[in-house]
Amino acid sequence: AQSVTQPDIHITVSEGASLELRCNYSYGATPYLFWYVQSPGQGLQLLLKYFSGDTLVQGIKGFEAEFKRSQSSFNLRKPSVHWSDAAEYFCAVGATGGFKTIFGAGTRLFVKA
Amino acid sequence: SQTIHQWPATLVQPVGSPLSLECTVEGTSNPNLYWYRQAAGRGLQLLFYSVGIGQISSEVPQNLSASRPQDRQFILSSKKLLLSDSGFYLCAWSAESDTQYFGPGTRLTVL
């Protein structure tokens, strides 16, 4: 069965420090992979997606993610975190022609001054 | 460009009362539509999805139902709300690319 695991429930980083949020998936076919961000009381905003091609994907707000098939991972990174990045981040996996996307439980990011 | 609307933004309802949440999409045709619930501190739970008018798939048996009376309109309903129905309800749409785009959400509190 398909699944997505975000091992960290919450992470705290200092403003200006680098960030890596982990995501592991289990999927039988070639997956579509997504990262979304949710600010409190808001909907989810798409940060980036991977369908095929270059395994390093650039997204909005300075985020990037790298697909590693051998590790079944799709970790999200940012070189320098800003206070406005404090939010909840969701990794998700979908399938070609499928109608359902499986979401991880989310990682809450706290940014300290 | 495509936009997705949800209303109301917030709702406080007594236990046993009916519910109707509405979601509409603009700027696209024949979208796939989804209803999710997000409980406090929890991830997203897919409730219903629809691939066309009148076509509804239910993911979780529960106190809720969904309808799609028009191509770009998706409604979430209940005849009698339970305390456990409280949460943040999100509507989303997708085209063939499978990327889902979310609305702003409705905060429902059942008292």
Q: Would you say residue A96 has pLDDT above 90?
A: no
Q: Would you say residue B104 has pLDDT above 90?
A: yes
Q: What amino acid is encoded at A22 in this protein?
A: R
What is the per-residue pLDDT across A47-92, written as a single tens digit (0 to 9) for each?
Answer: 999 988 899 999 999 999 999 999 999 999 999 999 999 999 999 9
Chain A hits for B32, CB-CB cut-off 8 Å, are: 99
If you average pLDDT over residues B5-20, what whole number do you get?
Answer: 97
Q: Is the CB of A106 less than 8 angstroms away from the CB of B43?
A: yes
Q: Is the CB of B42 less than 8 angstroms away from the CB of A103?
A: no
Distance CA B4, CA B93 (A): 8
* Residues 70-109 (A) with a CB less than 8 A from some CB of B: 90, 92, 94-101, 103-106
Q: Would you say residue A97 has pLDDT above 70?
A: no
Chain A hits for B88, CB-CB cut-off 8 Å, are: 41
Q: Which three-class secondary structure state does DSSP give residue A42?
A: coil
Nearest CA in chain A to B32: A99
Chain B hits for A98, CB-CB cut-off 8 Å, are: 98
Contact B47, B66 (CB under 8 A): yes
Taken as a whole, chain B contains a residue count of: 111
What is the per-residue pLDDT across A1-58, written as a single tens digit (0 to 9) for each?
Answer: 788 999 999 999 999 999 999 999 998 777 899 999 999 889 999 999 998 889 999 9
